[in-house]
Structure 1
Amino acid sequence: MGGVAVLILLAGVWGSWGVAQHVMLTKGREQGTVAVARCDGEWCAGRYAPVSAGSTARSRVVIAESVAVRVGGTYAVVLKPGTDEAVRSGPAGVLFAWVPLGGALLLASVVVAGGLGRVRAGWVLAGSGVALLTAAFVAI
């Protein structure tokens, strides 16, 4: 059961790191804002205005559509290297990137409390997961 709990937590970190690395390690990455003009299915697109040195303006970048992205809104973003795909930056972007880890913490808490009999550790994991998910919800 301990191995299963560790595997769940590693999967949560792995699922989060794909976006979190771009948001947290911004040195040398293109940073700017995107003004969302239209949304289509899972993606929204808009004009990119650079903020960081060396970044160039683009007529169209895409950002994943979520409950936090609306047509007409302007959002601080970081561009993924070599693509026209943007991810939210700032505190809201960091918290949103780690949402998969929050879910993994909740799932692992059940395994730790029920499977291992470590109720206190399970409550700590569950509390951490709820805190992370709540902070992401409030920030976005």
Structure 2
Amino acid sequence: MPATATSSRQARQARQARQVSSAALRFGRLAAMGAVAVLILIAGVWGSWGSAQYVMLTKGRERGTVEVTRCGADTCTGPYTPLSSGSPARERVVIEHTAAVRKGQTYTVVVKPGTGEVVRSGPAGVLYSWVPMGGALLLASVVVAGGLRRTRVAWVLAGSGVALLTAAFVTI
């Protein structure tokens, strides 16, 4: 009879050890996937903020228009006409050549301080500057759904990303 009590105790200890290790693995997966999702979202904000800061925080910045006269592989150039007081006219400023910039068009822009580079302003500029964040939201939704098993949160992230990308596409 003592052998039965010993084997019963060993089985109970083995079951508890499996439960503890299973809980530790679950926690490790949640911590790792949560860290990956947060890192993806931080990277999206970091990638977007490089141009979004100039478009969103325009107080004290030089604002004006640029008429695109020449486009190369990566950049377009044209004369800058100021709209804000204290901003000098420039014969040539540089704007990034994207699908949203075409030769012969005039765009409202904000000058990056201390450079001859400009970024689009207005609703189109704001939405376009946050496109990397839209991509990060989509990518993070996959990590949240698969790694964290939080499907509702994943759908919210994916919906936000799709809405942001669609709005940027429509306005540009």
TM-score by length of 1: 0.99
SS at match of 1:41: coil
Please show how residues 1-140 of structure 1 align to structure 2 within 5 Å: 1-140=33-172
Distance (whole Å) between structure 1 residues aligned to residue 144 and residue 62 of structure 2: 41
Distance (whole Å) between structure 1 residues aligned to residue 100 and residue 165 of structure 2: 14
Residue segments in structure 1 that go unaligned for 5+ positions in a row: none
Relative to total residues, which structure has the larger helix share, 1 or 2?
2
Q: Deviations over 1:11-53 (max 9, x none)?
A: 0000000000000000110000000000011000000000001
RMSD of equivalent CA atoms: 0.3
> How high is the sequence identity, in percent, across the aligned residues?
74
SS at match of 1:53: coil
Q: Deviations over 1:34-86 (max 9, x none)?
A: 00000011000000000001101000000000001010000000000000000
Distance (whole Å) between structure 2 residues aligned to residue 23 and residue 68 of structure 1: 15
Relative to total residues, which structure has the larger strand share, 1 or 2?
1
SS at match of 2:68: strand
Q: State the aligned residue count.
A: 140
- The code of the aligned residue for 2:83 comes to V
- Which structure has more relative contact order (CA 8 Å, sep 6+)? It is 1
Distance (whole Å) between structure 2 residues aligned to residue 134 and residue 43 of structure 1: 24
Distance (whole Å) between structure 1 residues aligned to residue 158 and residue 130 of structure 2: 15
Find the structure with the greater CA-based Rg. Answer: 2
The structure 1 segments of at least 4 consecutive aligned residues displaced by more than 4 Å after TM superposition are none
